[in-house]
Structure 1
């Protein structure tokens, strides 16, 4: 059973390895939907089983995925995420290597979420009106200091975590929902 906490990544090589769209998708599938075999992951991603095997191996190498031993049946070996997600700092050990790897992984996350938003917008009319009304895309701005920004992001994460906890029972009629938020200072020149 994977840990419900997020795995802190501190090695820039792990960040670089994870900054790959297929690996991010595989990790997302195993984190959100639970254990799956290589064949199932190939079906869900459209990748070959050989490609999935290679990318899962990279996730295993960095401790993000492990065999789901309790669920193994015959030759099919299921995999599971080792944690509920990942986290890393923007600057890590302060090295340029870490900062570059962190930025590359962040860019992949942003690209995935923007693609999901674009997909929703292109197909919005196909959703029941109740789902259209429940979806939220918002924007706001204010002046905060570092402590306030830290507080608000922690509070937002806590609220989202209440609804994304893997142990939370899935209600009838539930759909997978992608949460994407950001809180960054606006750029007004070097500080």
Structure 2
């Protein structure tokens, strides 16, 4: 069974709930590693602001330094993987509120990313045809639901780790390589009569 990311704790959720930090994290996931100066230029902030917020995100494991880049004072940062706590957030009203704030910010970024992709008329047809937007609803048992989520996680990890190994071994970028985003939400719908 694939290992899932550790859910954010209360302090990390509180640190991440800041709108600028969500925007910075989204930029790093969209564009890859960046410096505080690059983030400042893109987001219209001062580099002192982005540097401070990067340190706060790093303190909670939401971003990490890209050790393969940068020299001396130039620090490159990349987004880290995490999950939003499910069970704990349902029990703790304060954590549930923070999780709601973070999810709202991430959903806004998701809508923006999807809209930007859809409106980009310069995307080559081959990339458009390889893309997938799908919604599926089915009746599953708890065991089937858990097995499906584990299988999807395994496939995502297999393909993303394969790409990481290719880059690590070759040290160069393929001509047709692009950053891609995968969204996957699987959750039970409310029980109805």
Q: Secondary structure at the match of 1:87?
A: coil
Residues 30-39 or 43-52, more deviating: 30-39
Q: Which structure shows the higher helix fraction? A: 2
* Cα deviations by residue, 1:138-174 (Å, 9 ceiling, x for unpaired): 1222101222222211211221222333444243211
Q: Distance in 1 between matches of 2:187 and 2:128?
A: 27
What residue number does 2:145 align with? Answer: 149
Q: How does 1:159-174 map to 2 (within 5 A)?
A: 159-165=155-161, 166-169=164-167, 170-174=173-177
Q: TM-score, normalised by structure 1?
A: 0.77
Q: Distance in 1 between matches of 2:104 and 2:134?
A: 21
Runs of 4+ in 1 over 6 A off after TM superposition: none
Residues 8-17 or 171-180, more deviating: 8-17
What residue number does 1:12 align with? Answer: 10
Q: TM-score, normalised by structure 2?
A: 0.76
What stretches of structure 2 of length at least 5 have no aligned partner?
168-172
Whether 2:135 is the aligned partner of 1:132: answer: no
Whether 2:95 is the aligned partner of 1:92: answer: no
Q: How does 1:40-55 map to 2 (within 5 A)?
A: 40-55=38-53
Q: Secondary structure at the match of 1:80?
A: strand
What residue number does 2:190 align with? Answer: 187
Quick check: 1:9–1:15 contact (8 Å CA) kept in 2? no
User: Deviation at 1:52?
Assistant: 0.6
What residue number does 2:108 align with? Answer: 111
